[in-house]
Chains A and B, each alone.
Chain A
Amino acid sequence: MKFGVVVFPGSNCDHDAFYAIGNVLQKPVEFIWHQSENLANCDAIILPGGFSYGDYLRTGAIARFSPVMKSVEKFANSGGMVLGVCNGFQILCEAGLLPGAMMRNSGLRFICRHVHIRVEQTDTPFTNAAQKGQILKLPIAHSDGNYNCDEATVAELEKNRQVIFRYTTPDGSDDNAGNPNGAVHNIAGVCNRERNVAGLMPHPERAVEAALDSADGLVILHSMIEVLVGAAKATA
């Protein structure tokens, strides 16, 4: 089992993802440089947060053209597990690996705080270790997390159960009140139809120890590890 964390120029959560997997969970992980088309035999790819290429044009708009993304696309299309966090989510949308697009936060400001999200679906490699309806406390840190798509697409996302994380309040009672950025249907994270590619705006890799005020992000990484362990057993 091996995780790969892609490093774009301007990625700044790459070290956090690396630390969460390598140090906290003690699993093999390596960095993959954006100019490499070789994914180094990794079994799961993480596109980390940050400001790839400065995000001056539009978040993720340049990163999708980088050489590594060709390989990530091939990997995803052949069923490989790809998780995009924050800027990684934005890049996956720009690359067309996930539906939808990001707009500026409804308040037009950068927001960094803990939010709560509900796990809506557990039949994905990113949520299978969670309970359906489980509420996770995770930090957000973004200017452009206002997830949007047209009505037909959002209806399809809901129908296909691709909305895997939704903003809510700590007790899960009021999704609108828990939505920090105006995202349509309070969507915090989605997966593709095949369920092997997912993106979310909150940062699970920043919530991996009680000392960081929450360890709720671990359940997402544990889910991925369980799938990889299962796959390794199946081939053994």
Chain B
Amino acid sequence: MATATTEIRVTPEIAAEHGVTREEYARIQQILGRDPNITELGIFSVMWSEHCSYKSSKVHLKRLPTRGKLVVQGPGENAGVVDIGDGLVAAFKIESHNHPSYVEPFQGATTGVGGILRDIFTMGARPIAVLDSLRFGEVAPGKNTTEEDAAKNRRILDGVVRGVGSYGNCFGVPTVGGEVAFEPCYSQNPLVNALALGIAKKEEIFLAKAKGIGNPVIYVGAKTGRDGIHGASLLASAEFTEESKQKRPNVQVGDPFMEKLLLEACLEAMQTGAVVAIQDMGAAGLTCSTMEMASRGGTGIEIDLAKVPQRETGMTPYEIMLSESQERMLLVAEKGREQEVLAIFKKWGLDAVVVGHVTEGGIARINNDGRVAAEIPAHPLAEEGPVYRRLIAAPAPRVETEKDWFAFAPEGTNLTANFLKLLASPAIASKRWITEQYDTSVRTNTLAGPGASDAAVVRIKDPKTGAVKRALALSTDGNGRWCQLNPRVGAMHAVAEAARNVACSGARPIAATNCLNFGSPEKPEVMWQFSETVDGLAEACTALGTPITGGNVSFYNETLGKSIYPTPVIGVLGILDDASRVLKIAFRDEGDVIVLLDGFGVGPTLGSSARGASPAPTGLAREFSSSEYSKAIAAIVAGEPPSIDLGAEKRLQDCLIALAAEGAVQSAHDISDGGLAVTLAESCFASVGAELAPPALGANVILDDGDPAESALFNERGARAVVSVTPSKLAAVLNTARQYRVVARELGQVTHSDAFRIEHKGRTVIDSPIEILRDAWGHSLERTLAAK
């Protein structure tokens, strides 16, 4: 064939520099029947990078449940799609942008948000909400963290938060939720996982399948530059070294304004009926979009790079094909109707150019000014890439004794000071300083923004009439510390907590998306963590009825050989049939009864004795050592995550959904990080109508279970939630709980006084004015982050 002239002759060594192994190189030669040229090598290297090909994770991901009666589109497209009734579907997916966010926090985060938004509107769905799941190193100095590290982590957080905000705010999508967690292991490798949700009519969903021989292929959106070349293969598919900072030019630059125009133009173009297929140019840009569209459609494709709008001169085919310039789309239009499509993009002031056409025979041919720059069979490239069954090895078992575990304070100890410290710890403290930098209310659908309910809740307006009937709830969760201690149980907790949060908002969990953040797949122990995690996710998603509809895997999250905690982040989507029945966490009226709902077993009392696997005192300490309290108060991170009972989780969730539908409870808040005491306090804090408004409601609670006080107050066992109930409805609530085989126990009352008081076994263990607690919880993160 006639290849581009004056180019580097490809050798196995050059291939190795592209991250292509000798075996992979041989496979490339076999597919092509010859040596690749440099452009082709570039194309293969990005398509077969870990990031794009899932070559190490594929064999495991097959074990995840992906089907369900509401699932319209499972993994493999730009986003998962589920049926939400009345002819509407929800498209949603979570994706990572970890490495770019370390190299360049602001741009890394913006392009992470931009990329996931494109995935959603590529499907024909208008984005209505974004959530961000963020992990950083510790932002305050302490054990394992120097002041220098803390300051660096604060700078990364600041850049990421500004980036997330800047993109979503300008684009006009509300950032309604997510979570932020801190562990030393994320210091050199923060996690930025962005989830987007969109709505479309069921019959108007678009797929990325090239169809119709001769149909024109149209490039739309931003011009192509040299930014982000090899973002996917080099940044996302290799671990960090000292030189990684030099990879800053590999990070893409986001333009949310351009993306807003692209959104409106694409949705308008799709309405014409002249668009056959569409694919965004994200990782691996033009390469991925051309090759995948052709491969999925079973066709070939031919494009001319000279026609691609370029913002720099002298770009080589290699650079154009591998550029990851943002805010670009490739679409296939119906032949003869391309002018309709082009006119719409012109109206929105965007470049739109016919760059090629769909061909017969499965070959992707990339021309450059009349010369063939690359010629590759699309299907083998996209679908027959390498698949690895990496070595798996469980790490040596941790040997721990009682000395390594948390030692409970003697009975009767007043725990108020410790509670204040816990409330002020970055993990527990209010994230308001962060979430206020996000527009949470644009599009007027937000029924519960950050912190208002356990899940973010957005209502669905009928696209034609604006009428509101249903709402969608979303929550992201994932406890890296627990997954480090036990990946399988930790992963199950991630699903359980996300689903529980959704149920606490009153919604029924229907589907999930996952972002699996791990170290190097070339390490057998990391692959063991991965495999265990997948098994945990599979079991929990099956038990809780939330099939996985998409997501992404992010490997190589390690710096200088040290891996992050295995961190699966799970987003669970739920549906509320009546948008007016949203449950929030805030206590509402003085005199309401505070009730603990516990999905574990049926029995007259709570506490360890009522649990199936009753932990012995040492078992209790072992489990408690993995809690936020143990970390914040004793700097101990050890033991095991709490044991999990998915049946209990399911019972509790079904009970909460029923209570919400009956309108039987005033508030609901699950017990998670920080335990029961934090749950109660947050329900008090949230009762304040607005910043600067009069004081919150208080609570008076009496506990008499058998656990030590610290465990009763702060343990993080699942399947539990606190609801508040108008006294006249108490009998009905207890009755519903019984029907769902959930233990319900009255803990105390919501009070009007400015006091927060908890008694345990007849002794006052926490007693403080609400305002003092609220100040510690509400402002400590702001104070920490404001430090330079």
Contact = CB atoms under 8 A, between A and B. Distances in A.
Interface of A: 9-10, 12-13, 15-16, 19-20, 22-23, 49-51, 53-56, 109-114, 116, 137, 139, 141, 143, 169-171, 177-178, 203, 205-206, 208-209, 211-212
A15 B443 contact: yes
Interface in B121-145: none
B415 interface: no
Q: Which 3 A-B pairs have the closest CB atoms?
A: A12-B172, A54-B257, A23-B466
A50 B466 contact: no
A170 B690 contact: yes
A95 B438 CA distance: 28
Chain B contact patch, size range: 35 or more
Given A12-B171, A113-B436, A170-B693, A212 B446 contact: yes
Given A51-B169, A110-B166, A116-B692, 20 more contacts: A9-B257, A9-B349, A12-B172, A16-B442, A20-B444, A23-B466, A50-B172, A54-B257, A55-B170, A56-B257, A110-B438, A112-B441, A114-B690, A141-B440, A169-B692, A206-B442, A208-B444, A211-B447, A212-B444, A212-B447
A9 B349 CA distance: 9
A110 B442 contact: no
Contacts of A49: 442
A211 B580 contact: yes
Interface string B367-393: 000000000000000000000000000
Contacts of A212: 441, 444, 446-447
Nearest to B255: A54
A9 B261 contact: yes
Given A23-B466, A110-B166, A13 B459 contact: no
Contact of B579 (A51, A109, A177, A211): A211
Interface string B435-459: 0111111111011000000000001
9 contacts: A9-B261, A9-B348, A10-B170, A23-B467, A51-B169, A51-B256, A54-B256, A112-B440, A141-B442
A40 B691 CA distance: 42
Interface in B707-746: none
Contacts of B467: 23
Contacts of A19: 444, 461, 466
B689 interface: yes
B165 A110 contact: yes
A166 to B, nearest CB: 15
Contacts, number: 103
Nearest to A137: B690
With a 10 A CB-CB cut-off, give which of A13, A171, A208 has the most chain B CB atoms. A13
B260 interface: yes
A172 B209 CA distance: 59
A208 B461 CA distance: 15
B439 A16 contact: no
A211 B459 contact: yes
B437 A54 contact: no
Contacts of B444: 16, 19-20, 205-206, 208-209, 212
Given A12-B172, A50-B172, A178 B441 contact: no
A203 B692 CA distance: 19
Contacts of A206: 441-442, 444
Contacts of B439: 110, 112, 141
Contacts of A170: 689-690, 692-694
B233 to A, nearest CB: 31
A169 B257 CA distance: 34
With a 10 A CB-CB cut-off, give which of B256, B348, B446, B690 has the most chain A CB atoms. B690
Contacts of A208: 444
B441 A111 contact: no
Contact of A116 (B171, B172, B690): B690
Contacts of A209: 444
Nearest to A15: B443
Contacts of B349: 9
A177 B467 CA distance: 38
Nearest to A13: B442
Interface in B255-280: 255-258, 260-261
Interface string B680-695: 0000000001111110
A152 B122 CA distance: 52
A205 B441 CA distance: 11
A13 B172 contact: yes
B437 A109 contact: yes
Contacts of B171: 12
Contacts of A53: 257
Contacts of A22: 466
Given A22-B466, A170-B689, A12 B442 contact: yes
A86 to B, nearest CB: 10
A19 B461 CA distance: 10
Interface in B525-582: 579-580
